[in-house]
Amino acid sequence: MDAHQIPIVTVSYNSPELLSHLLASLRRFYPNPMHIVDGSDAAHVDAIRAAAAPFEGVTLHVQGYNIHHGPGMAWAIQQLPLGPVALFLDSDIIVRRAGFLEAMLAELQPQHYGVGGVAYVNREGFDIPYAYGAVPYLHPPCMLCNLEVMRRWPLPIKHGAPMVAPMLALHDAGQSGLLKHLDWVLNDVTPGTDKIYVDHVGRGTVMQTQGYHLEEWMAEVQARQQAEAAKAAAAARAAAEPAGYNPFVLGL
């Protein structure tokens, strides 16, 4: 497979400057077909079009609403003729030098879900150190994936960690081995490190658009956490009571 023929997918939202920087840095080294799934507000779409226009081989898919990162990737997986393999890049990635796509492709095997930076999250999708029960999580800022394998599992979702649904499914099925970790990718997508191939601005879209706009998801997470805390507190109180203890009888 020619690395220069692999399609690239990015999801954008109200951030034409970030998109322009991504495309300019990418085109210094790679001519790959590029698909932009755009969820920008109507007021920003013209600027997004202008950012994409100078670059050949770029197709803009305007959604007309904030599709969000996870559903935007899912839309591309389901709707676009991407072929067997696709590279997913965040819109706030800057390509520093050539060779990263070739390095990822050399590691991708037909059975793999994808290759990239694999770290660990809890079941809510929050980053945690490795521990028993931790869920291996393929970070989406820079990941190369086999589309046929991706489609066998739940697709990315609207979530602060958009890959959490497929990662949980892989973990629960004992199939996290389908993820291939590359140290340099995790390094490059982690803020504050010396970059090797790419630089992840990190929270670039958030800074440009004043938030993730995931209030519903955060409310659901907080409600679950509060319910779990209340359940744990009730269990602790029950465990502290002597066996056969009946406060009503003892009060007589």
Q: Domain ranges in the chain?
A: 3-209, 213-240
Residue 138 confidence (pLDDT): 98
The CATH architecture assigned to 3-209 reads: Alpha-Beta Complex (3.90)
Average pLDDT of the chain is 89
What does the H/E/C string look like for 112-151?
Answer: CCEEEEEEEECCCCCECCCCCCCEEEEEEEEEEEEHHHHC
Residue 111 confidence (pLDDT): 98
pLDDT tens-place string over residues 30-43 = 999 999 999 999 99
Task: Look at residues 4, 29, 9 and name the one whose alpha carbon lies nearest to residue 114.
Answer: 9
If pLDDT is split at 50, 70 and 90, which confidence band does 211 have?
A: low
The Cα–Cα gap between 31 and 27 comes to: 6
pLDDT tens-place string over residues 125-169 = 999 998 888 999 999 999 999 999 999 999 999 999 999 999 999
Check if the beta carbon of residue 178 is closer than 8 Å to that of residue 152.
Answer: no
Residues contacting residue 54 through CB under 8 Å, at least 6 positions apart: 23
Residue 239 confidence (pLDDT): 72
Q: Examine the pLDDT at 83 and tell me if it is beyond 70.
A: yes
The Cα–Cα gap between 191 and 90 comes to: 14
Question: Which two tokens mark 248?
Answer: 């009503």
Task: Look at residues 189, 95, 195 and name the one whose alpha carbon lies nearest to residue 138.
Answer: 189
Residue 118 confidence (pLDDT): 98
Q: Examine the pLDDT at 212 and tell me if it is beyond 80.
A: no
Question: Which two tokens mark 239?
Answer: 């465990």
Strands 34-38 and 58-62, sheet pairing: parallel
